[in-house]
C-alpha cells in the first residue's frame, strides 16, 4: 500500500500526521521513483543486520540496494541514511529527491532484522495494515479508556487513509503482515486497541518474524511495474502470484502454490486422506478431516455464483509460546478470501466451533501436522451467493 498525496482522515480528527486537531497536509513528494536505492550507514552501526534485511527484500522484489561509502557520500542525493539514535523511527514515504532519508536505529532495533525491515518498508511508503481504507471490514478500533492526553496520539496513529491517498493494487488485507500492529498496542492492561472481526485472527496480529508474502508483492508491484513495459514479466502468474525480476519465466507463489506460474498446489505428503487435491464441492455438504504428522494442501471450489460456509468443528495443533503469534506453516491455515496473497486464518493450539463464509467460490486448506495428536475436522456447505445467506450466517455466529 503506498502513500499518495495529502494526509487526511474522517474517523479521527486527523490521521498519521496530527497537528493541533487540524488536517495536516504533506508538502513534499512521497513516492520513490527508482528501484535502485542507495544507502549510507553512519559510524557506530553494524552493517550486518542492515545488509541482511535489505538482501531479503532484494531476493523477493526487483529492488536493489547499493551501499555508499564515505568517499561517495552525497547528502543531497536520493536514498536512505541509517543513523544511530535513541529510538527506532523514520518518516512514511520519501521526504525529498535531494536529501537522504533518515532511518534512526536505537539499541532495541539496530540488530533486529524484522524491525529494520519495518523501518525500510515505512520509508519506502508501505503503510500499516490498520491504516488501510478497507480496514473496517477486517478489524475494529477500540478508543475507550484512553485519557485526554493519550487519545489524540492514539487516534493519529490508528486512523485510516482514504482510497485517494493510497494504492493497494488489489492486494488484500493481511493479518500476517509485518506492518500489522499487535492487538493491545498503546496499552499495558490487556485491553485490546484493535480486534479482528473474526476473533481468531487476533492471534496472528503483530508478528515480528519478517515481511510477509503480500508485503513483498506490494513492494514488487509498486516499484517493478516498469519492467513489464520493458519486456520483462510479459506473462501472467496464477493464484495471486507475482513475477520476480531476475527469475525469467518464474513466478513467486503464495503459500500453498508452486510451479512456474503458480498453477500447481504444493504436493501432499504420504498419508493425506484425499488423493485428489483439487476438490469440487457439488453436493450440499462435505466433511473434511486430517490427523497426524503430514503435510496436506487442498483447494475446494464450488460453481460461480456460490460460496462456501466453513464450520470448523475442531483444530488441535502445536500451541503458541507466551506472546507468540500464529503464522502460516505452523499447523492449520484456511484461506477463504478472493485474494490468496494474504495469509489465511491460521490456528495454533486448540480451537472449536468457528463458522464463517468464504468471500468467493474457492477456499484453500493447508494442514501441517507436526505431532501424532495434531489434527482438524470441519464441515463445508454450499451457499448461494446472496445477501440473505450472508446475513443469516453472521447472525448465527454473533
**Domain ranges (residues) in the chain:** 1-13+23-230, 278-384
What DSSP designation does 126 have?
B
Query: Mean pLDDT over residues 347-351, rounded?
Result: 97
| For residue 146, pLDDT beyond 50 | yes
Q: What is the number of other CB atoms lying within 10 angstroms of the CB of residue 14?
A: 20
Q: What is the DSSP string of 294-325?
A: EEEEEEEE--TTEEEEEEEEEEE-PPPPTT--
Contact by Cβ (8 Å): 265, 239: no
Query: Mean pLDDT over residues 149-163, rounded?
Result: 89
The residue behind cell 533486529 is: 112
Name the strand (E) or helix (H) holding 122.
Answer: helix 113-124
Which pLDDT score is estimated for 24? 41
Of the pLDDT bands very low, low, confident and very high (cuts 50, 70, 90), residue 17 is: very low
Contact by Cβ (8 Å): 289, 315: no
116 grid coordinates: 529494520
Helix (H, G, I), strand (E, B) or coil at 316: strand
Residues 198-239 have pLDDT tens digits of 999 999 999 999 999 999 999 999 888 777 777 777 788 999
Q: CA–CA separation, 83 vs 104, rounded Å?
A: 5
Share of the chain above pLDDT 90, in %: 66
214 grid coordinates: 503480500
Which comes out higher in pLDDT, residue 285 or 249? 285
Q: CA–CA separation, 217 vs 239, rounded Å?
A: 13
48 grid coordinates: 550486518
Which pLDDT score is estimated for 30? 54
Q: Which residues contact 27 (CB under 8 A, 6 or more apart)?
A: none
| For residue 34, pLDDT beyond 80 | no
Of the pLDDT bands very low, low, confident and very high (cuts 50, 70, 90), residue 5 is: very low
| For residue 163, pLDDT beyond 90 | no
Which comes out higher in pLDDT, residue 395 or 154? 154
Which pLDDT score is estimated for 247? 66
Q: CA–CA separation, 71 vs 115, rounded Å?
A: 29
Residues 57-98 have pLDDT tens digits of 999 998 999 998 877 777 778 899 999 999 999 999 888 888
Which pLDDT score is estimated for 165? 85
* Fold of domain 278-384: Jelly Rolls (2.60.120)
| For residue 152, pLDDT beyond 60 | yes
Backbone Cα Rg of the chain: 22
How far apart are the two ends of the chain, measured CA to CA in Å?
Answer: 31
Which pLDDT score is estimated for 391? 40
| For residue 4, pLDDT beyond 90 | no
Helix (H, G, I), strand (E, B) or coil at 236: coil
Q: Which residues contact 387 (CB under 8 A, 6 or more apart)?
A: none
Query: Mean pLDDT over residues 185-202, rounded?
Result: 92
Q: What is the CATH number of domain 1-13+23-230?
A: 3.40.390.10
Q: Tell me phi and psi for residue 37, to 5 degrees.
A: -115, 125
Which pLDDT score is estimated for 28? 44
| For residue 396, pLDDT beyond 80 | no
Amino acid at each position: 500500500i503506498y502513500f499518495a498525496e495529502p494526509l487526511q482522515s474522517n474517523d479521527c480528527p486527523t490521521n498519521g500526521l496530527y497537528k493541533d486537531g487540524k488536517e495536516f497536509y504533506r508538502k513534499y513528494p512521497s513516492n520513490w521513483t527508482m528501484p535502485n536505492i542507495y544507502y549510507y550507514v553512519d559510524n557506530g552501526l553494524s552493517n550486518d543486520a542492515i545488509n541482511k534485511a535489505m538482501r531479503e527484500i532484494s531476493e523477493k522484489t526487483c529492488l536493489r540496494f547499493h551501499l555508499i561509502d564515505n568517499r561517495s557520500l552525497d547528502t543531497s542525493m536520493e536514498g536512505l541514511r541509517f543513523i544511530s539514535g535513541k529510538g527506532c523511527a523514520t518518516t512514511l514515504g520519501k521526504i525529498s529527491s535531494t536529501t537522504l532519508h533518515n532511518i534512526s536505529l536505537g539499541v532495541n532495533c539496530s540488530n533486529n532484522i524484522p524491525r529494520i525491515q519495518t523501518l525500510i518498508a515505512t520509508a519506502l511508503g508501505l503503510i500499516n495494515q490498520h491504516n488501510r481504507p478497507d480496514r473496517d471490514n477486517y478489524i475494529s478500533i477500540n478508543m475507550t479508556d484512553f485519557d485526554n492526553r493519550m487519545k489524540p496520539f492514539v487516534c493519529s496513529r490508528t486512523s485510516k487513509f482514504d482510497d485517494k491517498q493510497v494504492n493497494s493494487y488489489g492486494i488484500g488485507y493481511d493479518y500476517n503482515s509485518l506492518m500489522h500492529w499487535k492487538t493491545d498496542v498503546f496499552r499495558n492492561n490487556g485491553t485490546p486497541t484493535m480486534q479482528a472481526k473474526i476473533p481468531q485472527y487476533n492471534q496472528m496480529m503483530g508478528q515480528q518474524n519478517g515481511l510477509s508474502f503480500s508485503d513483498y508483492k506490494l513492494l514488487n508491484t509498486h516499484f517493478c511495474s516498469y519492467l513489464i513495459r520493458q519486456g520483462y514479466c510479459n506473462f501472467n502468474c496464477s493464484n495471486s502470484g507475482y513475477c520476480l525480476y531476475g527469475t525469467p519465466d518464474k513466478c513467486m507463489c503464495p503459500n500453498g502454490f508452486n510451479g512456474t506460474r503458480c498453477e500447481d498446489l504444493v504436493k501432499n505428503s504420504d498419508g493425506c486422506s484425499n488423493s485428489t487435491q483439487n476438490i469440487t464441492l457439488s453436493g450440499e455438504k462435505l466433511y473434511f478431516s486430517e490427523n497426524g504428522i503430514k503435510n496436506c494442501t487442498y483447494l475446494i471450489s464450488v460453481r460461480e455464483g456460490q460460496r462456501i460456509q466453513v464450520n470448523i468443528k475442531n483444530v488441535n495443533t502445536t500451541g503458541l509460546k507466551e506472546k507468540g503469534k500464529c503464522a502460516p506453516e505452523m499447523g492449520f491455515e484456511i484461506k477463504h478470501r478472493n485474494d490468496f496473497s494474504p495469509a489465511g486464518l491460521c490456528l495454533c493450539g486448540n480451537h472449536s466451533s468457528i463458522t464463517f463464509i468464504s468471500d468467493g467460490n474457492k477456499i484453500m486448506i493447508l494442514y501441517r501436522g507436526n505431532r501424532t495428536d495434531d489434527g482438524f475436522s470441519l464441515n463445508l456447505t454450499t451457499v448461494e451467493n446472496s445477501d440473505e445467506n450472508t446475513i443469516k450466517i453472521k447472525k448465527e455466529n454473533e
